[in-house]
């Protein structure tokens, strides 16, 4: 039904706009219900004891120990106690079909399963349009921790009023249900103060909020004694910076003090390793790296190591004005989504305690191949610089934490395989989860393979085909579904 229209001269124009907005919202909510039902049906079709493959799949001949095959599909608990177990690989496919990351799809499937199987009254309210899907999903997120009796308690008390109460009411009911039906958990929650403590450094901070400055927000909840110690240390170092001649504001000096404290404490080396934070620019890349070049602990306490991966642009090679090409003076911090000015990189490198390591120039247009299955570092580095994230649909996992997969399956020379199969054009980064769904079959699917397949196009993009023959195009800018 088309929305009502009106002209600016009509006295009923504002009312017509409101009616149109309400009608559009009703259509949107109805569509959201349809999606939720489809997701729940899909999950039910892939539950343990639900749809199973014939004797020739999904793990070849079905065996009693098929679920123990390394990396194969497994059933997981996505809802609370008593909810059916759902195939892990089915979550990957429904997430891709809905344009979601696998993690987001897993949350959606889990909430649909929780609502349908453990909160039937709330599910019924959603089905008749009385309870918006988003509000029901928020409640389901809270109830997965409850016992069967606790979930029934929340469902019974909340269903009649869920459409007009806030999440706080649901959280209070959940807390009451825990106390009533799971007193041991309630006591553990009260005794375990560590559960409320955290310390977060938000490397996913949106660059649009604070572009070009190289800053990230930090937040946390600390033990009171730890908080007092940190406050004393930050205040002392901030005062020392002022005495040393810093003209920054007190807030800026306190911020810098945290970095100074962190660098002084690296001698502890409690984890045995450092995290790699790389800074990539259009003409270069700087990073804190580990490996054979990492100095001993005593040295690390005094020096910040910056590794530069220099990539010369065509502008630099032709000696043109670098300011004539927009963005050449920007740097991208590899672990975050933000940009910093090249001047910020220079500041990091100018510090007297910084050790700068310059890496050889890499021309990413070079195509390198070897005959062995093992991947040399020079090829792995080029592949990860070319595709800095997992190439599975909608996945954003950084390539440096991914496996490198042979796009065309590697065939040993003894079995007739051609030379040069391990190459920059036949490797792609896949995170471990998506490497598994590419390697092992799903519970169901069309065709004999019943697993995800992909191929590389000449322009470097990838076409993925799901177990049910849904196709997706993945390029450096993202993922789009292809027509059937």
- Global model pTM greater than 0.85: no
pLDDT at 298: 40
Look up residue 96 and give its two tokens. 């891709």
More confident residue, 222 or 458: 458
pLDDT at 271: 44
CA distances from 316 to 249, 320, 321, 357 (A): 38, 6, 8, 21
pLDDT in tens, 237-296: 999 998 988 899 999 999 999 988 887 775 444 444 444 343 333 334 433 333 333 344
pLDDT at 344: 66
Segment 346-371 mean pLDDT: 74
Segment 415-425 mean pLDDT: 93
* pLDDT of 94 above 50: yes
CA distance 163 to 151: 18
* pLDDT of 466 above 80: yes
* pLDDT of 185 above 90: no
Q: Which residues contact 444 (CB under 8 A, 6 or more apart)?
A: 45, 46, 51, 53, 58, 90, 450, 467, 468
pLDDT at 443: 81
Residue closest to 442 by CA, chosen among 408, 470, 417:
470
| Band (122; pLDDT cuts 50, 70, 90) | very high
More confident residue, 471 or 198: 471
* pLDDT of 424 above 90: yes
Residue closest to 378 by CA, chosen among 365, 396, 362:
362
pLDDT at 119: 96
pLDDT in tens, 65-75: 555 567 888 88
CA distances from 204 to 21, 65, 334, 339, 374 (A): 34, 41, 11, 11, 33
pLDDT, averaged across the chain: 79
pLDDT at 270: 45
* pLDDT of 54 above 50: no
Is residue 146 a contact partner of residue 138, using CB atoms and an 8 Å limit?
A: no
pLDDT at 266: 59
| Band (150; pLDDT cuts 50, 70, 90) | very high
């Amino acid at each position: 039904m088309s929305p009502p229209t009106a002209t600016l001269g009509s006295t009923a124009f504002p009312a017509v706009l409101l009616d149109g907005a309400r009608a559009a919202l009703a259509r949107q909510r109805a569509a959201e219900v349809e999606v939720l039902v489809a997701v729940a049906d899909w999950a039910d079709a892939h539950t343990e004891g639900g749809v199973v493959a014939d004797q020739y799949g999904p793990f070849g001949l079905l065996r009693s120990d098929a679920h123990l095959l390394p990396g194969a599909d497994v059933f997981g608990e996505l809802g609370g106690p008593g909810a059916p177990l759902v195939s892990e690989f089915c979550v990957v496919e429904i997430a891709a079909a809905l344009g979601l990351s696998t993690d987001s799809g897993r949350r959606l499937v889990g909430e649909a399963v929780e609502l349908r199987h453990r909160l039937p009254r709330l599910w019924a309210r959603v089905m008749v349009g009385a309870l918006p899907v988003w509000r029901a999903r928020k409640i389901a997120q809270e109830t997965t921790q409850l016992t069967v009796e606790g979930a029934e308690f929340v469902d019974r008390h909340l269903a009649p009023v869920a459409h007009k109460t806030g999440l706080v009411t649901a959280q209070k009911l959940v807390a009451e249900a825990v106390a009533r039906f799971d007193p041991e958990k309630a006591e553990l929650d009260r005794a375990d103060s560590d559960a409320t403590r955290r310390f977060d450094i938000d490397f996913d901070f949106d660059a649009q909020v604070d572009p070009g400055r190289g800053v990230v927000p930090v937040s946390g909840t600390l033990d009171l004694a730890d908080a007092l110690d940190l406050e004393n240390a930050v205040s002392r170092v901030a005062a020392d910076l002022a005495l040393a001649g810093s003209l920054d504001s007190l807030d800026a000096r306190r911020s810098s003090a945290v970095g100074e404290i962190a660098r002084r404490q690296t001698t502890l080396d409690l984890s045995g390793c450092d995290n790699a934070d790389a800074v990539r620019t259009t003409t270069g890349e700087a990073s804190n790296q580990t490996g054979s070049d990492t100095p001993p602990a005593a040295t690390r306490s005094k020096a910040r190591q910056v590794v530069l991966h220099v990539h010369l642009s065509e502008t630099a090679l032709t000696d043109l004005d670098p300011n004539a090409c927009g963005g050449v003076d920007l740097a991208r911090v590899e672990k975050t989504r933000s940009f910093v000015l090249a001047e910020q990189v220079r500041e990091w490198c100018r510090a007297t305690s910084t050790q700068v390591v310059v890496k050889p120039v890499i021309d990413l247009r070079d195509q390198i191949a070897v005959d062995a299955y093992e991947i040399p570092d020079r090829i792995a580095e080029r592949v990860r610089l070319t595709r800095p994230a997992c190439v599975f649909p909608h996945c954003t996992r950084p390539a440096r934490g991914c496996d490198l997969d042979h796009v065309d399956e590697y065939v040993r020379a003894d079995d007739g395989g051609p030379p040069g199969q391990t190459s920059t054009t036949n490797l792609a980064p896949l995170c471990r989860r998506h490497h598994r769904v590419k390697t092992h079959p799903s519970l169901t699917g069309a065709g004999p393979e019943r697993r995800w397949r992909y191929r590389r196009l000449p322009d470097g993009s990838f076409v993925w085909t799901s177990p049910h023959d849904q196709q997706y195009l993945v390029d450096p800018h993202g993922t789009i579904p292809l027509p059937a």
